[in-house]
């Protein structure tokens, strides 16, 4: 009587090695798809905690297993099939190897992989890993930017503007500070901040002085997502950086710092949809999901659905 029924059998699948059962791409140099999912378990972990989100890519893939047989059904969140045509489907490029004691080498590997994805004309979709992963992703976008300038839409409970933490300037508390120093980043919109986070008041003031537009979570709930989207100029090239802790912890408990007052499913997916309506999503990352802190897979399911909806949005802008 203790045996759980296999609901996967009802839906059509129980296991998957790729996100949504999409085709695998094992060699980035031969990538031939409009969207490339890349698992990145580790970039620059703080020594005190290590790569605590290393198991997130596998957990997020597994959370999509019940959907793998149903990808051609109607998705109400996408207004049609997630991928409206077969040629618009993403591929799953697996996980990057890493050395948890060599952040510089990890960053080089991430930067190189993202550059290859961009050179192949695909939109990178990174599954972290902790929130240090976007730094080398942003650098890779800079490598290939030419004259293009980008708007970052960061959705996070924390602003990540520390100069350094534990003597590490490239860690997860400094991501938007490092972004602000990059020549190709012309605008940063930060949505979802709340509570007591990593930043000192002086960090927040530095961000304001740089020109960041903040829409804290409470303001977003009150004013609606359009208030944040209005801060993105029409026609922008947009990089979306999503930290799982932006979402309310009752929905995604699998994060290190659960912070009440977070975003709902509709708020976060409407931000992604709205960004694509304002301009063009050039890259997106999903970080800070920690399966070991999750409750019965509910957060993995939620975050995997956000990612699925984002894939549908990006596929439509490629149509």
The CA distance from 133 to 161, in Å, is: 15
* Beta partners for residue 125, in sequence order: 37, 284
Q: Is 182 exposed, middle or buried (0-12, 13-18, 19+ CB in 10 A)?
A: middle
The CA distance from 243 to 230, in Å, is: 21
Q: How far is the CB of 233 from Mn ion (least distance, A)?
A: 24
Q: How far is the CB of 164 from Mn ion (least distance, A)?
A: 15
3-state secondary structure of 316: helix
Residue closer to Mn ion (CB basis): 59 or 179: 179
- Which residues in this chain contact Mn ion in the complex, by CB under 5 A? 131, 156, 158, 160, 243
Residue closer to Mn ion (CB basis): 34 or 129: 129
Tokens 């893939």 map to which residue? 61
Q: How far is the CB of 246 from Mn ion (least distance, A)?
A: 8
Q: How far is the CB of 317 from Mn ion (least distance, A)?
A: 25
The CA distance from 84 to 54, in Å, is: 32
Residue closer to Mn ion (CB basis): 158 or 184: 158
Question: For residues 85 and 123, is the Cβ–Cβ distance under 8 A?
Answer: no
The CA distance from 220 to 223, in Å, is: 5
Q: How far is the CB of 171 from Mn ion (least distance, A)?
A: 10
What count of other Cβ atoms lies within 10 Å of the Cβ of residue 267?
Answer: 21
What count of other Cβ atoms lies within 10 Å of the Cβ of residue 16?
Answer: 20
Residue closer to Mn ion (CB basis): 158 or 162: 158
């Amino acid at each position: 009587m203790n045996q759980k029924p296999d609901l996967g059998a009802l839906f059509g699948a129980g296991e998957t090695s790729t996100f949504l059962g999409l085709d695998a791409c094992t060699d980035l140099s031969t990538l031939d798809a409009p969207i490339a999912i890349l698992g990145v378990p580790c970039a620059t972990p703080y020594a005190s905690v290590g790569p605590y989100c290393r198991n997130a890519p596998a957990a997020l893939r597994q959370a999509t297993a019940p959907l793998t047989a149903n990808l051609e059904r109607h998705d109400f969140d996408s207004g049609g099939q997630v991928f409206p045509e077969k040629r618009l489907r993403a591929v799953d490029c697996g996980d990057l190897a890493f050395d948890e004691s060599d952040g510089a080498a990890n960053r080089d590997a991430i930067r190189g992989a993202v550059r290859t994805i961009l050179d192949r004309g695909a939109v990178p979709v990174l599954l972290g890993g902790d929130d240090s992963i976007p730094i080398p992703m942003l650098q890779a976008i800079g490598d290939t930017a030419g004259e293009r300038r980008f708007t970052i839409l960061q959705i996070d409970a924390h602003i990540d503007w520390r100069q350094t933490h534990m003597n590490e300037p490239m860690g997860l508390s400094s991501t938007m500070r490092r972004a602000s120093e990059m020549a190709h980043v012309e605008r940063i919109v930060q949505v979802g901040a709340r509570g007591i986070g990593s930043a000192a008041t002086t960090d927040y003031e530095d961000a304001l002085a740089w020109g960041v537009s903040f829409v804290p979570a409470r303001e977003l709930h009150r004013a609606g997502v359009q208030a944040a989207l209005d801060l993105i100029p029409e026609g922008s090239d947009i990089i979306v950086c999503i930290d799982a802790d932006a979402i309310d912890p009752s929905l995604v408990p699998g994060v290190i710092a659960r912070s009440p007052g977070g975003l709902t499913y509709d708020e976060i997916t409407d931000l992604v949809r709205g960004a694509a309506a304002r301009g063009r999503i050039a890259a997106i990352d999903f970080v800070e999901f920690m399966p070991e802190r999750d409750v019965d897979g509910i957060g993995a399911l939620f975050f995997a659905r956000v990612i699925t909806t984002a894939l549908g949005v990006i596929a439509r802008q490629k149509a």
